[in-house]
Chain A
Amino acid sequence: MGFWNNLALGIEVAFTTQNLLYCFLGVTLGNLMGVVPGVGAVAAVSILLPVTYHIPPSAGLIMLAGLYYGAVYGAVTGAILLNIPHTVSAVECLDGYPMAKSGRAGVALFMTTIASLCGSVVGIVIIALFAPPVAAVALTFESPDYFALVVLGMTGAVALARGSPIRSFIMILTGMLIGLVGMDVTSAQPRFTFGISQFMDGISIGVIAMGLFGVAELIANAGQLHTGTVTAGDITWRSLLPTRDDLRRSWPAIIRGTGLGCFFGILPGAGAVLASIIAYTVEKQVAADPGRFGNGAIEGVVAPEAAANAACQTSFVPMLTLGIPTDPITAVMLAALLIKGISPGPEFISAHPDIFWGLVVSFVVGNVLLVIWHIPFIRLWVKLLTVPFDILFPSVLVLICLGVYTIHNSTMDILLVLAFGLIGYGMRLLQFEPAPLLIGLVLGPLLETYLRRSLIVSHGNVLGLLERPFAGGVLCLSAIILAWTFRKTAKSSRPNPNSKAAV
C-alpha cells in the first residue's frame, strides 16, 4: 500500500513539466557526451553541476542522474563503431568493433540498447525495493557504524579500483587531504588555506572534478583524437534486426550481466566500469566456445552493457540511503545535494520522499526516453561521432571555464580548474587514476566527523569503536579486504589485477 502511494508520488513528481524537461535534457546531453569521444561521464556530470545550483534539488538530481546513465548508454556507440574505448565501455570494443567490421554494427547497437534497458530496469526495481529497507536499518546506526561504513567504502575503492592498490590508496588519501582545505567546523581553525580567503569554504568539488576529468582529458586528447570513418557503412533499419541465433545467445548473457551489475553497483568503489569488465570475463568463461570472443561474439557486447547500466542504477542505493558515494559520479551528485542543504542518509527517503521517488520514476522515464532517442535516431548519433575533435575541445573548454565561474562568480576558480587540470594531466602521465581521489574528497570530511563523534561516545577509547557489533564487524571485514588486496598484489608479479581482464 505504502509502496503504491510512494510510486504515485514519484509519478506525480517525475511527470511535472519541469522535471520531465530536466530529465530529457540530462539523458540527451548525457547520451551526446557519451557518444562524442574524449568527454567522459564524470566530466559531463561536473560540467553541468553548476546548473543544479540554480534549479530545485529534485530537478537537479534528475538531470545529473540522467546525464550519468545517458552517458553510459551513449558510450557504447563509439566503442562499437569506432573502437574508441570510453571509460565505461572499454570492454565493449573487444567484440563490438569486430561485429561492426563484419557489417553487423546495426545488430550490435540494437542489442546493446535492449541490454541497457533490461539492466537499468532491474537496477531500478532493486533501488525501489531495497533502498527503503536499507534506510530503515541504517536509522539504528550510530557514529561508529558510519565510521566503519566509510572505512569500508574506502577499502572497497582501494580493492576494486583499476591499477595497483597502493596507487589508489594514495589517491584516496590525497583526495581526503584536499577535502580538509577550509575551516574546520568544530574548532573554527583554518586548515591548508595558505592565507587565501577563497579557500576558507574549501575547494568546490565541481572545480576539482572539472579539472581532473575535464581539462586533463582535453589536454591529453587535443590534437590526438582524429575521428575516423565509420566502418559500418550505412546503418539501415533492416540491419538493426538481430537473427534468431543472436537472440538465443543474448538473453542469458543479458540476464547474467544484469545480475552481476546490480551486485557490483552496490559495492563501494566498484561502479559500472568494473561491473562491465567482470561481466565480460564471466561470459568468456561460461561460453561453450571462448574462441569466438574478440571476433564479434554478441554475448561479449550485451553482457557488459547490461552490467554497466544495472551497476549505474544500483550505485544510487548506498549514496541515497547511507550518504556514502561508491563512485566519482555519485560523489559529485552527493556534493550537489549537500550544496542544496540536503544530506542523503537514512532519513533522506522519509524526509524527502518526493525527491527519492521522483528520482526513481525519472529513471524509468529517462531510460524509455533513451531507447526512443537511440533506436530511431541512430543515424544521427553515428553522424555525431564524426564531429572533429578540434571543434569539440575548444567548445568544451569554454563551457568548463564559464561553468566553473558561475559556481562562485570568481575568476580564481577558473585558475584553480587549470591547476587541477595540470595536476590531473600529471597524474595521467604517472598512471594515477583520478577516480579514487574524488571518492576520498567526499569521504574524507565524513570520516573525520564520524571518527570525532565516535571517540566522544567511546570516551576517547579507539578500541571502543569495535564494541558495537555492526561497526566491529564492518571494520574487521575492511581489514580482511585490505589485507587480501595487498597480499594479492604482493604475490602477483604484475601489480595490475585488471590487466588480465582487459587483454
Chain B
Amino acid sequence: MNDASKSGPSARQDVIGGVLSVALGVFALAIALSYPMGSLLRMGPGLFPCIIAVLIVVLGLALIGVSFRSRPKVASVNIRLRSVLTIGLGIVLFALLLERAGLIPATLTLVLVSSLAEPRWRPQRAVVLAIAMTALVYVIFIIVLQIPVAALGL
C-alpha cells in the first residue's frame, strides 16, 4: 500500500528534502528581512519570521548533513503522474467552471476528469457516478445549504 513509508527515507530523499528546506528558509528570510525588526522589548513583525526562517535553513542543512547515514541510497519512488495530472486538471476546471458555468457542469467535469486517474477507466461507470454525485451535491449545496452559486449559469 504505502510502499515508500515502510523503510526509512533514502539518502536522496534526505538531500532533496534538505535542499528544498534551505531554499524555503532563504526565500522566507529574504522577505522577512524587509519587515521592521523592532527590539526585543517591542518585537517587530519581522523578528519572529526571521527566527523561524533561520531555523529552517539550519535544519535543512542538518538533514543534508545526516543524509550520508541513510540506509538505502536511492529508494524507488513511484510518482503517480497520471493521478497528479487528472486530479489536478479536474480541480482547476472545477474552480474555473463553478462560478462561470454553475455547479452542475463543474461537478460533472470534476468527476469525469478525475476518474481518469484510475488506469482501467470504465466510461459508463464514470458517467453514472458523475450524474449521481451531481444530483447529491445539488441537493446538499443548492437546496439545503443554499450556497451563492447557480446550478446552471451562463
Interface residues of A (CB under 8 A from B): 54, 84-85, 163-164, 166-167, 169-170, 173-174, 176-177, 180, 184, 186-187, 189, 191-192, 215, 218-220, 222-225, 390-391, 393-395, 397-399, 401-402, 405-406, 409, 411, 414-415, 417-418, 421-422, 425, 428-432, 444, 447-448, 451-452, 455-456, 459-462, 493-496, 499
Asked if B150 lies at the interface with its beta carbon under 8 angstroms from chain A, I say no
Report chain A residues within 8 Å CB of B107. Answer: 398, 402
**B42 A456 Cβ-Cβ under 8 A:** yes
Given A166-B66, A222-B117, A460-B39, the answer on whether A398 and B71 have CB atoms closer than 8 Å is no
**A406 B49 Cβ-Cβ under 8 A:** no
Closest 4 pairs between A and B when the two form their complex, measured CB to CB = A460-B41, A222-B117, A460-B40, A414-B95
Report chain A residues within 8 Å CB of B137. Answer: 398-399, 402
Interface residues of B (CB under 8 A from A): 1-2, 4-5, 7-9, 13, 16-17, 20-21, 24, 28, 31-32, 35-36, 39-45, 48-49, 52-53, 55-56, 59-60, 62-63, 66, 69-71, 77, 79-80, 82-84, 86-88, 90-92, 94-96, 98-99, 103, 107, 110-111, 114-115, 117-119, 122, 125-126, 129-130, 133, 137, 141, 145, 147-149
The smallest beta-carbon distance between A37 and chain B, in angstroms, is 9
Give Cα A496 to B96, complex, Å. 43
Give Cα A164 to B43, complex, Å. 32
Q: Given A85-B2, A431-B13, A459-B41, 14 more contacts at CB 8 Å?
A: A163-B9, A170-B17, A170-B63, A176-B52, A177-B56, A189-B36, A220-B2, A394-B114, A395-B129, A409-B149, A417-B91, A428-B4, A430-B16, A460-B42
Give Cα A425 to B77, complex, Å. 12
Pick from B63, B87, B99, B145: contact of A406, CB under 8 Å: B145
**B80 A223 Cβ-Cβ under 8 A:** yes
Report chain A residues within 8 Å CB of B126. Answer: 394
Report chain B residues within 8 Å CB of A444. Answer: 52
The smallest beta-carbon distance between A411 and chain B, in angstroms, is 4
Give Cα A418 to B88, complex, Å. 7
Closest residue on chain B to residue A448 by CB atoms? B48
Give Cα A390 to B83, complex, Å. 12
**A422 B88 Cβ-Cβ under 8 A:** yes
Main secondary structure of the interface of A (DSSP, over half): helix
The smallest beta-carbon distance between A55 and chain B, in angstroms, is 11
Report chain A residues within 8 Å CB of B117. Answer: 219, 222-223, 393
Give Cα A174 to B147, complex, Å. 33
Report chain B residues within 8 Å CB of A166. Answer: 59, 62-63, 66
**B92 A415 Cβ-Cβ under 8 A:** yes
**A187 B91 Cβ-Cβ under 8 A:** no
Pick from B28, B55, B83: contact of A223, CB under 8 Å: B83
The smallest beta-carbon distance between A428 and chain B, in angstroms, is 7
Main secondary structure of the interface of B (DSSP, over half): helix
Give Cα A493 to B25, complex, Å. 28
**A411 B98 Cβ-Cβ under 8 A:** yes
**A431 B5 Cβ-Cβ under 8 A:** yes
Closest residue on chain A to residue B87 by CB atoms? A219
Q: Which among B60, B62, B118 has the greatest number of chain A C-beta atoms within 10 A? A: B118
Closest residue on chain A to residue B59 by CB atoms? A170
Give Cα A499 to B137, complex, Å. 42
**A177 B49 Cβ-Cβ under 8 A:** yes
Give Cα A451 to B1, complex, Å. 43
**B125 A431 Cβ-Cβ under 8 A:** no
**A222 B83 Cβ-Cβ under 8 A:** yes
The smallest beta-carbon distance between A32 and chain B, in angstroms, is 15
Closest residue on chain B to residue A493 by CB atoms? B69
Report chain A residues within 8 Å CB of B82. Answer: 223
The smallest beta-carbon distance between A398 and chain B, in angstroms, is 5
Give Cα A428 to B60, complex, Å. 17
The smallest beta-carbon distance between A133 and chain B, in angstroms, is 33
Give Cα A455 to B99, complex, Å. 48
**A189 B56 Cβ-Cβ under 8 A:** no
Give Cα A213 to B29, complex, Å. 27
**A173 B52 Cβ-Cβ under 8 A:** yes
Report chain B residues within 8 Å CB of A215. Answer: 87, 91
**B45 A187 Cβ-Cβ under 8 A:** yes
Given A414-B98, A430-B16, the answer on whether A405 and B48 have CB atoms closer than 8 Å is no
Report chain B residues within 8 Å CB of A447. Answer: 48
**A390 B115 Cβ-Cβ under 8 A:** yes
Report chain B residues within 8 Å CB of A177. Answer: 24, 28, 49, 52-53, 56
Give Cα A180 to B28, complex, Å. 11
**B36 A219 Cβ-Cβ under 8 A:** no
Give Cα A459 to B13, complex, Å. 44
The smallest beta-carbon distance between A306 and chain B, in angstroms, is 25
Given A223-B118, A391-B129, A393-B114, the answer on whether A167 and B28 have CB atoms closer than 8 Å is no
The smallest beta-carbon distance between B22 and chain A, in angstroms, is 10
The smallest beta-carbon distance between A184 and chain B, in angstroms, is 4
Given A170-B63, A174-B56, A223-B83, the answer on whether A394 and B1 have CB atoms closer than 8 Å is no
**B8 A167 Cβ-Cβ under 8 A:** no
The smallest beta-carbon distance between B142 and chain A, in angstroms, is 10
**B48 A173 Cβ-Cβ under 8 A:** no
Give Cα A414 to B103, complex, Å. 14
Report chain B residues within 8 Å CB of A180. Answer: 48-49, 52
